[in-house]
Amino acid sequence: MIEEPTIQRWAAGVEYNGARFHGWQKQKHQPGVSIQESLEAAISEVANHEVGIVCAGRTDSGVHASAQVIHFDSTAVRSDRGWKMGINTKLPDGICVNWVQPITSDFHARFSAVARRYRYFIMNKPVKPGLMHDQVTWWRKPLDAEKMHEAAQALLGEHDFTSFRARDCQANHARRTMKDISVKRMGDWVMLEVCANAFLYHMVRNIAGVLLPIGHGSKPVEWCEQVLSAKDRTKAGVTAPGEGLYFVDVEYPDYPDLPSYKNGPPFYELMATQGELK
């Protein structure tokens, strides 16, 4: 009697430069340009069978990740290092796998997560950046980070975030719980950090689109709360560019052995060595 091969579930941490791809999700009419498809092709080649993956949170075109989490199932017998090294040799530039480890079959990269964390980086100076132009958002008008932070506190807690969801968002409802939100400045950098149980399509970029006019003084601090209360997308601001947005952490309290880090992209670590964000 031939034994059925054992299926093992694996979790992995992924980082990517979203500027090189057309978002996370597979594209029906543009094969080979999504992060999901690139990863599935690489993992399948290492596994020697077709593999599908599930991520913690889908990112749209131009958005980056330093700590995306995925899971996949495979009957292939590989070591943690074997998976990581093998997958990375098959991936295109702009994507890498930082860690791979076995996990119990009840783990789900999306549904086991209780919170996701994003950081939105703004280069705030009169001249647009020559370096990292597709990895940060440039805003030439002076921004008051303290006013932006004050305004953002209206979003803490559980709310109906209809005013901050994209028109084509497919979520069943707009109620989300904002666990933490802050705006900090260091030199020419302004960083918006948000942590919520889940996010709506374009939610972080739409929050940034409200806070930016408050920061440069064309809207009052109270406007953020007014937009939230309106529950009407047309009452909000523009959708801020995706270049400055990074998916930086996922919380899995039931799986403490999974790596967790919130450092964000490499230039954020460099910023941290130069002084305190304030």
Residues annotated catalytic, as ranges: 60
Contacts of 78 (CB under 8 A, 6+ apart): 46, 47, 86
Give the largest CA-CA distance in the chain. 75
Listed in order, strand segments (DSSP E) in the chain are: 8-16, 54-55, 64-74, 95-103, 115-123, 137-138, 157-160, 175-186, 189-196, 245-251
- CA torsion angle for 164, 187, 118, 201 (degrees, to 10)? 30
Q: Please tell me the distance from the alpha carbon of residue 271 to that of residue 158, in angstroms, as a whole number.
A: 32
How many Cβ atoms sit within 10 Å of the Cβ of residue 2? Answer: 4
Give the three-state DSSP class for 98. strand
Q: List helix spans (H) across 184-243.
A: 203-216, 223-230
Tokens for 258, please give them.
């999974």
In the DSSP assignment, the letter for residue 252 is -
What are the b/e assignments for 144-164, b being 16+ CB within 10 Å? bbebbbebbebbeeebebbbb
Helices and strands (H, E) in the chain, number of each type: 6, 10
Question: Could you tell me if 98 and 14 are in contact, meaning their C-beta atoms sit under 8 angstroms apart?
Answer: yes
